[in-house]
Chain A
Amino acid sequence: MKIQVLGTGCTKCNQLFALTEKAVQDLELNVEVEKVSDINEIVAFGIMTIPALVIDGDVKFAGNVPSLSNLKEIIKKG
């Protein structure tokens, strides 16, 4: 499993990154959360609002920061 957080470094992007790390820790997954901040790479995913979460190359959501419990659900589903 590969988890990426897309964001250019805005407040909400950092929030999502921290939250995702926390979720991964709580779920006891052995996954590295990668931060993608290069704008060209972000746009290549076809999204236009940040932050966004990508799991195994699939965009799960964009433009908002969900609650921790929702985020865990999303990660569990993969």
Chain B
Amino acid sequence: MFKVFTLFADLIVHTWLKLPVDSHWAGALHFFIEDITKIFFLLVIMIYAIGLLRASLNTERIRVFLQGKNRFFGYFLGAGFGAITPFCSCSSIPLFLGFTQARIPIGITMSFLITSPIINEVAVVLLGGLLGIKFMIIYVSIGILVGVLGGMFIDAIKAERFLMPLAENVQGGNVDLPGIEKPKMTLKDRHEFAKTELRTIFSRVWKWVFIGVGLGALLHGFVPQEFITNNLGSGQWWSVPGAVLLGIPLYSNASGMIPIAESLLSKGLPVGTTLAFMMSTVAASFPEFVILKQVMKPRLLLIFFVMLLVMFTFVGLILNIIPF
């Protein structure tokens, strides 16, 4: 089904521009054209389709649902809901406070916050389209697992101690929450919602895709495979924590990161190292930490940072051992 994009890139690069098949520029340009057209096509269709389905879902209802749920089950639910709701880092504080207000344990909130940026429809679709279904399933399972384990750990160390007064204030606050009821949605309402979603998500994401595909293309065309296989290919022990350390402060949207991952994988970077790098880039960033500083004491932020580092490193190391 996706062959049409390869043929289209063939047509431009080899038939129209007549670039020699083995040149660096031809390789890079081919990668760029194929990926850009494929990604934009997938994005438009999938964001719209998922928008139609998601129109009646909102975070306020999720909160009611999570309230008073069994702990253990709660982590999975938190991570699961994080995966299906769209994430905007500017909403992480109201979300954090809102969950706390509903007396949802902080660990479950963290499960939600960790998984939310890692898994979203855009990432899932791109992974499936560019790297294959198997890779997509691994990615999604790990995204959920990391959220669940992270949430459990945060509760295990009783992280409520490290919240800022802002968050403590709402903790004992009113339990009777004003909820927003969504009226029954007609197909036309859903269409409107999906259209708005498409516009907002696309306008936010397209530049990341451009940068990501551009970097991926340059990597694809100009970095010799031997360089990566010789230096990083056998999964040297330091390469995974190194990739994670590099990835956490770097910030990219999942959609920008996936073409880079595709390129790195095709150059022989081991799956575990690639995934660890990708997830750490997408999951956390400096701007996010700055926002979270409003509700977490520096100590908790540091714990959070180290926790992510350790988890992604383990994921990478384990996946590097498993043969695919």
Report which A residues bind B (CB closer than 8 A).
7-8, 10-13, 39-40, 42-43, 45-50, 59, 62-67, 70
A-B contacts, 30 listed (Cβ < 8 Å): A8-B93, A8-B94, A10-B90, A12-B90, A39-B97, A39-B166, A39-B294, A40-B166, A40-B169, A43-B94, A47-B94, A47-B98, A47-B180, A48-B60, A48-B91, A48-B94, A48-B95, A48-B97, A49-B58, A49-B59, A49-B88, A49-B91, A50-B94, A59-B180, A62-B60, A63-B86, A63-B88, A65-B196, A66-B196, A67-B196
- Contact call A43/B180, Cβ cutoff below 8 A: no
The verdict on B4 contacting chain A, using a C-beta distance below 8 Å, is no
Closest to A59 in B: B180
Give the A-B pair count, Cβ closer than 8 A. Answer: 76
Report which B residues bind A (CB closer than 8 A).
58-60, 63, 86, 88, 90-91, 93-95, 97-99, 101, 166, 169-170, 177-180, 192, 196-197, 199-200, 294
- Contact call B180/A40, Cβ cutoff below 8 A: no
- Contact call A50/B91, Cβ cutoff below 8 A: yes
Top 4 A-B pairs, shortest CB-CB distance:
A10-B90, A46-B178, A48-B98, A48-B95
Q: With the chains together, A66 CA to B197 CA distance in Å?
A: 9
- Contact call B200/A65, Cβ cutoff below 8 A: yes
Chain A nearest Cβ from B94, distance in angstroms: 5
- Contact call B200/A39, Cβ cutoff below 8 A: no
- Contact call A45/B178, Cβ cutoff below 8 A: yes
| A residues in contact with B178, CB < 8 Å | 45-46, 59
With contact pairs A64-B200, A66-B196 given, residues A48 and B180 touching in the complex (Cβ less than 8 Å)? no
Q: With the chains together, A11 CA to B200 CA distance in Å?
A: 12
Q: With the chains together, A47 CA to B63 CA distance in Å?
A: 10
- Contact call A49/B94, Cβ cutoff below 8 A: yes
Q: With the chains together, A4 CA to B199 CA distance in Å?
A: 24
Q: List 12 additional contacts besides A40-B169, A48-B94, A50-B90; criterion CB under 8 Å.
A: A8-B93, A40-B97, A40-B166, A47-B98, A48-B59, A48-B97, A49-B88, A62-B180, A63-B58, A63-B86, A64-B197, A70-B196
